[in-house]
Amino acid sequence: MGYALAASVLAAGDRVTIVGRDAARLAAARKQLQADGPGIATAVADVSEESAVERLFAGTGPVDHVVITAVDATGAYQHVSVLDLPAARRLIDTKILGAALVAKHAAPTMPSTGSITFTSGIAAYRPAPGGSIVAAVNGALESLAAALALELAPLRVNVVSPGWVDTPVWDAIAGDGKAARLGAMADRLPAGRVGAPQDIAQAFRALMANGFITGTVLHVDGGHRFI
């Protein structure tokens, strides 16, 4: 989803910096994205480490918009009776505290017309057994955005909440059963299909562009909340 957003921003002629923990993956993404436009830079940082986030924004200079998709949910999908506390803490550190740290250090570099957008997910609104911590963390982003929309005003803070999106993460989740699982969900959704990364990128762009939306969750889930 972040890759699709970067491609969209570059295609519009704007500049973008993509950030991640893995320098090799960033370099590969940059090489692919350069076909969409020359204005791309990369930076290595872990959002769960405040010193890294502080260095990131000290080095990038002024930025207009920040979108946060970072998450480490490895091992977090477990029944609460066998909760792996280190896995839960990694999820909280990356998705909640990481988002707060980015807001803390990005806001001083941004114009009053800028925006910060977090990424939640359908788990907050349609939780499932084995996903209690994931649901809680995604739900917490809505409260965080609402509070920061007041604290950082007139800077805008919002959340995009995707539903099921056909991304490579499903290869790890479902393996050879990916097509069947996504197809079954597509048959249930009012939209008649699962999401594509470009759908989520368009939602991010909409929140970046509309200067009258703040403290809001934009659901991009094909109607998943209603089934």
pLDDT tens, the chain, 227 aa long: 999 999 999 999 999 999 999 999 999 999 999 877 779 999 999 999 999 999 999 998 899 999 999 999 889 999 999 999 999 999 999 999 999 999 999 999 999 999 999 999 999 999 999 999 999 999 999 999 999 999 999 999 999 999 999 998 888 778 899 999 999 999 999 999 999 999 999 999 999 999 999 999 999 999 999 99
Spatial distance between the Cα atoms of 22 and 6, rounded to a whole number of angstroms: 17
Report whether the peptide linkage leading into residue 162 is cis, meaning its omega lies within 30 degrees of zero. no
Spatial distance between the Cα atoms of 202 and 197, rounded to a whole number of angstroms: 9
Output the pLDDT for position 38. Answer: 78
Output the pLDDT for position 209. Answer: 97
Tell me which H or E stretch contains 99.
Answer: helix 98-106
Output the pLDDT for position 188. Answer: 97
From start to end of 120-215, where are the E strands?
Answer: 156-162
Spatial distance between the Cα atoms of 28 and 143, rounded to a whole number of angstroms: 35
CATH architecture assignment, domain 48-226: 3-Layer(aba) Sandwich (3.40)
Spatial distance between the Cα atoms of 125 and 121, rounded to a whole number of angstroms: 8
Please name the residues in contact with 199: beta carbons below 8 A apart, sequence gap of 6 or more: 162, 165, 220
Distance (Å) of CA 101 to CA 107, 160, 168: 10, 18, 27
Output the pLDDT for position 49. Answer: 97
Output the pLDDT for position 175. Answer: 86
Q: Which of 146, 62, 30 is nearest to 99 (CA)?
A: 146
pTM for the model: 0.94
Residue type, 70: A
Please name the residues in contact with 212: beta carbons below 8 A apart, sequence gap of 6 or more: none
Output the pLDDT for position 173. Answer: 77
Q: Which of 140, 161, 150, 156 is nearest to 93 (CA)?
A: 140
